[in-house]
Chains A and B, each alone.
Chain A
Amino acid sequence: MSPKRQFQVVGKSVPKKDSMALATGGPMFTADMLPPKYLVARVLRSPHAHARISSIDSSKAEALDGVHAVLHHGNTPRVMRTTAGQGAPEPSPYDFTTFDNKVRFVGDRVAAVAAENAQIAEKALSLIEVEYEVLDPILEVRDALLPGAPVIHDEPDCRVVIPVPYEPSRNLASHVDMVVGDLDAGYEQADLVIDHEYECQYAQHCPIEPHVCLAEPMPDGRLRLTTSTQVPFHVRRIVAQAMQWPVSKIHVVKPRIGGGFGTKQEVLIEDVAAFLAVRTRMPVLFELDRSEEFTSRTRHPMVVRLKTGVKKDGSLTAVDLNVLSNTGAYGSHALTVSCNCGSKVLPLYRWPNIGFAADAVYTNMPVAGAYRGYGATQAYIAMEIQMDEIATSLGMDPLEFRRANLVRKGETSPVFKALGEGREGVDQAIESIGIDKCLRLGAKAIGWKRNRGRPGKGRFRRGVGMCCLMQGSSIPEVDMGSASLKLNEDGSFNLLVGATDLGTGSDTVLSQIAAEVLGVDIDKILVYSSDTDLTPFDVGAYASSTTYLSGEAVRKAALDIATQIRKVASAMMQKPLKDLHLKDGHVIAKDGQSLGLDRIALRTLYEEDQHQIAAFASHVTKKSPPPFSAHFAQVTVDIMTGMVKVEKYVTATDCGTAINPQLAEGQVEGAVVNGLSYALCEEFLFDENGRMKNDSFGQYRIFSSRDVPEMETILVPTYEKTGPFGAKSVSEIGINGPIPTISNAIFDAVGIRLRTSPFTPERVLQALDTQENLHR
């Protein structure tokens, strides 16, 4: 297949399949699917950051009229596991059980109630009598590894289930390191060595739909979970594990979900709903409120120390990236997020000598987890600010300095092999890379040459900044996606995929891939996804995998079913197989004769040679080809107030073939605006006891339409041979750029280097003051 090939459906911005049903308000989300009678679940949460539950008495709550069940550690099984929705055996530690006799952050679960309505449930929570033995907490990440620090996971049964370092006795949730080459020699050769720390903050995904799950006991003794998840198959497995049930007794359905961004890659509420439904034999709805959502799962805050060596001519000699990651009270995704700090960042440039080490530590703070960007976001802050620092120190244009050192087509990086997700990685060469064109087009759109180094005078100073990025596409040799297709009598196809559309439009993208192979209009593909009883397995929506991984499974299944169709047609038309191809809903012969797919279906279903034309395929990737991107921003800094205003933001992104350009742009824009919001205003404020103070949209501000700058989103097509029709991933990469890009633009405007986010007016003013003092 050549890159120049013209596609019929792929590469077209067809409307997202479910978008009209959503725009007209169709009842398509979990909370829209309630049975006539159901109970409401609420959870009692810990007021302490660190405490042992010395006693718990739920008798008064149980006696309250309308209460059907109260659960706590005294009446539920203790099964250590993880909430991280990852492939089994999970790389995250088993340090969590549904209800524990210890609480480890403010907001940790203590007990749960199922009652006839929310008011009764709330009342019941207040009647549960809990005595706590309060323990010293760790509320600062740098304190976690100090000798004598409180031990957060002192339970004897916490453990890891893959062979990786894990030392709960000193609050170490994970450790990973690697060295390639000789760092000392590298720094020796360098004319310039730069060494700084960069720090980024807690943030929450803020899906507009909070986590919500409906658990329904079925008449046959099974349990159906309708839930807002990114990982239906992992939910089935992990809930079964928690309940000590066979997987076969659980049916998970994912309807439409109102955004995920990683936070719904966790099994956070399904276990509670499931236990309550089984205990009460009634349907149970468990929906987080917004304040609970804030401390459900978060981005891992990190302190990243980066040391680089370069020669005067701008060539690189050594890099050493050291990460201290705060995983909060539980180690969900601790190791794999850490790994990504190295594996998605270090291969971007041609470092001859490379060091990487990352510790993820427990604290008594909100639990971190998967969040779009997944460690790459955090490490790119350090890398891309420091690349700017090097360039300015050497008196080089930051763009040209990067360009000279970027990885090139056909090259590899030792990091790919050295660092996987919780294990060794997979070697790969870069076959598709459009970063050069991204740089060219992005620089032009922002006016890089024209605008750089011209801050102007007066109160409002202008600056431009940029950065380069890569990510991956799926987890190679780990993740699996699959698809099935069958032909119906009107020439339509049912496409069943385990892949999980969390609003990204993957159902549409996967349908486009099938339609392209089958030569039919997208309306002929009836897609149904994410139902553990009906659709084949898929790991779910994470690691930028769906288009690249599940898409290839769809393409394989479509190729198979196309061959079956051609075989039947060959018999019906009396033509050799090789002369037949599928187009416009027909099988077309070389001589122009054609036969409708409906005719073929009618014959095989009702008339002759009767069988169901159907196919089924799975896919595991051998590679994780990176998408690449260049980001550019123009900002204005108000030196009186410290206010940073982003005037214009330009991205140019190589995601291979964009199967649906409009949806791909939407992924970039959504990720970028989330990143801008993180760069400029999002942060958790804690009181001295470790309680999040600003747990509402009123106090934790996320970007609204008013905050959005002028944006230009450029897609730079390349062709990735190993992806379906040349596609790579696009959903995560965009979130990595805003912090370094804005920081670099602020430097261009006012000459201060901000290495701690977010760039609030106070922080900018403070840095400006320090600079003034220095210059006095």
Chain B
Amino acid sequence: MEIHVTINGKQHLWQEPPGEILLNVLRKHGFNSVKFGCGEGECGACSILLDGKSVRACLLVAGQVHGREIVTAEGLGTVDDPHPIQQAFVDSGAVQCGFCTPGMVLSTKALLDKEPEPDRARIKQALDGNLCRCTGYVKIIDAVEKAAERMKR
């Protein structure tokens, strides 16, 4: 089927069988920041923003994003011009292997767009669906606080 979707501000037209898993389709089209960690909606490595909400690309089929808007970590910022959330993750030491990071960054964005001043308890709750095995989450939570602080200014 034909799928019209906006990704990181650009229009895309995909020809995909309607049942194709969105995660695989995104990766096939070069959005490699969307990671395969479990394929079962449990780890959050495949998080994307769909119309501003953090969702799991492994639980969606491509047809479901027709006419909608997706943001991936690539679309948030670049190495030369990072998003303040990405900068805060780097500054806080919240990136170890970095496999969970794109998803974490996007879930953070979804949170801060709605609630610009979350406390630590709220941050922990909001990132609950994104697993990280490297950092112990401490510096990730620090990063979200730091990003919130900086984005307020």
Contacts and interface: CB of A to CB of B under 8 A. Distances in A.
A496 B112 CA distance: 40
A576 to B, nearest CB: 43
B73 interface: yes
Task: Specify which of B27, B86, B93, B129 lies most central, judged by the most chain A CB atoms within 10 Å of its CB.
Answer: B93
B124 A208 contact: no
Contacts of B76: 24-25
A696 B38 contact: yes
A773 interface: no
Given A19-B95, A24-B78, A705-B123, A697 B128 contact: no
A663 interface: yes
Nearest to A713: B138
Contacts of A87: none
Interface stretch (A216-224, A416-424, A666-674): A666-674
Given A670-B135, A674-B136, A706-B124, A16 B95 contact: yes
B82 A23 contact: yes
Interface of B: 27, 30-33, 35-40, 42-43, 45, 72-74, 76-79, 82, 86-87, 89-91, 93, 95-102, 105, 123-125, 127-141
A702 interface: yes
A704 B99 contact: no
Task: Specify which of A208, A258, A662 lies most central, judged by the most chain B CB atoms within 10 Å of its CB.
Answer: A208
A261 interface: yes
A708 B125 CA distance: 11
B32 A22 contact: no
A446 to B, nearest CB: 17
Contact of B95 (A13, A23, A27, A697): A23
Interface string A622-657: 000000000000000000000000000000000000
Given A24-B78, A666-B96, A19 B39 contact: no
Contacts of B131: 206, 208, 697, 702, 704
Nearest to A669: B136
A23 B102 contact: yes
Contact of A503 (B98, B105, B139): B98
Contacts of A153: none
Given A32-B32, A696-B40, A705-B130, A208 B78 contact: no
29 contacts: A16-B96, A19-B89, A19-B95, A23-B90, A23-B102, A24-B77, A26-B33, A27-B30, A29-B35, A31-B36, A32-B32, A207-B99, A208-B37, A208-B43, A208-B45, A208-B97, A208-B131, A259-B133, A503-B99, A662-B93, A673-B138, A697-B38, A704-B131, A704-B137, A705-B130, A705-B140, A706-B125, A708-B141, A711-B138
Nearest to B41: A698
Contacts of A287: 36
Q: Which A-B residue pairs are the 7 nearest by beta carbons?
A: A25-B33, A503-B97, A22-B98, A258-B99, A25-B73, A673-B136, A697-B42
B99 to A, nearest CB: 3
Nearest to B33: A25
Nearest to A13: B93
A165 B144 CA distance: 53
Nearest to A663: B93
Interface in A483-513: 502-505
Given A23-B73, A209-B37, A259 B99 contact: yes
Nearest to B97: A503
Given A208-B35, A698-B42, A26 B79 contact: yes
A21 interface: yes
Contacts of A674: 133, 136
Contact of A708 (B39, B72, B124): B124
A23 B105 contact: yes
Given A24-B73, A24-B79, A713-B138, 15 more contacts: A13-B93, A23-B98, A24-B74, A24-B78, A25-B102, A26-B79, A27-B33, A28-B98, A207-B133, A208-B97, A209-B45, A257-B97, A258-B37, A259-B96, A711-B138
Question: Chain A, interface size: which category?
Answer: 35 or more
Nearest to A27: B32
A20 interface: yes
A579 interface: no
Given A290-B39, A696-B42, A670 B133 contact: yes
Contacts of B139: 662, 665-666, 669
B74 A670 contact: no
Task: Specify which of A22, A205, A665 lies most central, judged by the most chain B CB atoms within 10 Å of its CB.
Answer: A22
Task: Specify which of A19, A504, A702, A705 lies most central, judged by the most chain B CB atoms within 10 Å of its CB.
Answer: A705
Nearest to A259: B97
B127 to A, nearest CB: 4
Contact of A20 (B40, B79, B140): B79
Contacts of A29: 32, 35, 99
A585 B90 CA distance: 25
A705 B126 CA distance: 9
A505 B134 CA distance: 11
A669 B135 contact: yes
Nearest to B85: A23
Contacts of B39: 289-290
A255 to B, nearest CB: 11
A671 B137 CA distance: 11
A666 B143 CA distance: 13
Given A25-B73, A26-B79, A666-B139, A256 B98 contact: yes
A702 B125 contact: no
A655 B15 CA distance: 55
Contacts of A27: 30, 32-33
Contact of B40 (A206, A290, A669, A672): A290
Nearest to A704: B128
A15 interface: yes
A711 B86 CA distance: 23
A287 to B, nearest CB: 7
B99 A209 contact: yes
Contacts of A672: 136
B38 A24 contact: no
Contacts of A703: 137
A210 interface: yes
A261 B93 contact: no
B93 to A, nearest CB: 4
Given A209-B35, A209-B99, A698-B40, A25 B72 contact: yes
A18 interface: yes
Contacts of B141: 705, 708
Nearest to B24: A118
Nearest to B124: A705
Nearest to A698: B42
A705 B95 contact: no
Nearest to A22: B98
Interface in A204-258: 205-210, 256-258
Contacts of A256: 97-99
